[in-house]
Structure 1
C-alpha cells in the first residue's frame, strides 16, 4: 500500500484522526457523516472524501469552530507537535489566500 502522501490526497476521516481532531477513526467518520465538516466551503458527508494539501477545513473543536489550512499531508498519527506542523489555524481576521 502506498503512503498517504504518495497519491497527493488522503481520506478525510483518516486526516482528522492523524491530525488529532478525533480520538479515533470511527469518531472521525461519525463527525463527517453528521455533516459537521466543510471542505473548501462545501459541506462534506462522505468520510472517504479526498483531501489535498492546500485545502481549507472548517470543523468543530469542543465548543469552538476551527478554520484550518492544510499545509502538508501527514504520514502517520504521530505526536501532537508533528500533527500541528501539517496545518495552519486561520481566524476570522485572517483572509484565506486563494491558491
Structure 2
C-alpha cells in the first residue's frame, strides 16, 4: 500500500474533526473507546484505510463512520465531511403526546385552579 492509502487513527480522527485536538484523539484511542472494523484498539498508532468502519464512543453517544478518504492537513468542516460517511443509526424521536399536565408554549403561568389540577394529576395532594 502507498503511504496515501492509510493513516494513523489519531490523525484521521483529528482531520475528520471528530475530536478537537490530536492528543484528545490519541487519548480516546488509548482508552479503548475506538474500534476499527469491530476490533477494539488500544494504540493511537493503528492505521485505517479506505473502507474501514471506525466506531467511536464519545460524549454519551456512539458514532459509526466509514472511512472514505484522507487529508494531509486539517481543513475546514466541509473538507472534513469528505473524509467519512456517517453510518450512525439514530433512534427516531417520537413527539410527546399532548395530554394532561402540558401547556402550550406562551400560555403564561397556570391559574390557581390549573395548578391544583396539575398537583392532583402528579399526586402532590397535600
Return the offset for 1:82.
0.4
Match of 1:96 in 2: none
Please give the residue correspondences for 1:1-99 in structure 2 after superposition, counting only pairs within 5 Å: 6-92=3-89
Q: Which has the higher contact order (CA 8 A, sep 6+)?
A: 1
Q: Which runs of 5+ in 1 are unaligned?
A: 94-99
Tell me which structure has the larger Cα radius of gyration.
2
Aligned length: 89
| Structure 2: runs of 5+ lacking an equivalent | 91-126
Instruction: Return the structure number with greater strand share.
Output: 1
Provide the C-alpha distance between the structure 2 equivalents of 1:67 and 1:13, rounded to a whole number of angstroms: 16
* 1:9-51 deviations in Å (ceiling 9; x for gaps): 1111111111111111111110000000000110011100011
Instruction: Describe the SS at the equivalent of 1:20.
Output: coil
CA distance in 2, matches of 1:6, 1:32: 21
* Structure 1 or 2: more helix by fraction: 2
Name the TM-score, length of structure 2 as normaliser: 0.65
For 1:46 and 1:73, how far apart are their aligned partners in 2?
19
Following superposition, the deviation at residue 73 of structure 1 comes to 1.3
**In 1, distance between residues paired with 2:3 and 2:34?**
24
User: TM-score w.r.t. structure 1 length?
Assistant: 0.82
